């Protein structure tokens, strides 16, 4: 494992733990060159469907793209990294459970919006504004009205 600080590949594992959901191993490592510590996660490699983009391109599923999109939407919100990681795992599990060899990116986007809507309204609207490509204030207002109506029904 390459040190993210100095690039050296020599390090030692200080501590290993199974993640709370049991789907990963968290390893605390120390670089033997610079002495700095860093954390790595080891996941079981699952067979995930190929993602079909809006323009028809196909690319492998990338959990980091999911993580970055959710993190951007949750930026400056009171949402822990642990919660964000559990959302990423939920979306990834949704894709693993999908029965086809290919999954449309729109299905993944809708799943992300579903989990964000339940978690945090602001994060949801942020993600929706990019995902649905809001063009003006009226698009925001319509989405906010629907969110408020949903909240009032609960």
Q: Regarding predicted confidence, which is higher, 134 or 105?
A: 105
- Considering the domain architecture, whether residues 40 and 79 belong to the same structural domain is answered as no
* pLDDT confidence bin for 1, thresholds 50/70/90: confident
- Considering the domain architecture, whether residues 86 and 98 belong to the same structural domain is answered as yes
CA distances from 97 to 3, 33, 106 (A): 34, 42, 16
Report residue 27 as tokens.
């390893």
The domain in which residue 25 lies consists of 1-44
Specify the pTM. Answer: 0.66
- Considering the domain architecture, whether residues 36 and 104 belong to the same structural domain is answered as no
For residue 132, is pLDDT > 90?
no
- Considering the domain architecture, whether residues 2 and 52 belong to the same structural domain is answered as no
- Considering the domain architecture, whether residues 52 and 104 belong to the same structural domain is answered as yes
- Considering the domain architecture, whether residues 5 and 56 belong to the same structural domain is answered as no
Choose the weakest-confidence range: 5-19, 56-70, 118-132.
Answer: 118-132
């Amino acid at each position: 494992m390459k040190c993210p600080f100095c690039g050296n590949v020599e390090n030692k594992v200080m501590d290993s733990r199974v993640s709370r959901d049991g789907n990963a191993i968290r390893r605390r490592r120390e670089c033997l060159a610079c002495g700095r510590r860093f954390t790595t996660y080891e996941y079981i490699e699952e067979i995930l469907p190929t993602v079909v983009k809006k323009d028809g391109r196909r690319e492998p599923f990338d959990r980091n793209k999911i993580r970055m999109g959710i993190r951007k939407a949750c930026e400056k919100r009171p949402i822990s990294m642990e919660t964000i990681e559990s959302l990423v795992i939920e979306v990834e599990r949704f894709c693993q459970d999908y029965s086809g060899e290919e999954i449309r990116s729109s299905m993944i986007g809708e799943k992300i919006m579903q989990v964000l809507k339940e978690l945090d309204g602001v994060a949801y609207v942020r993600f929706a504004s990019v995902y649905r490509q809001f063009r003006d204030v009226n698009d925001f207002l319509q989405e906010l009205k629907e969110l408020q109506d949903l909240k009032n029904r609960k």
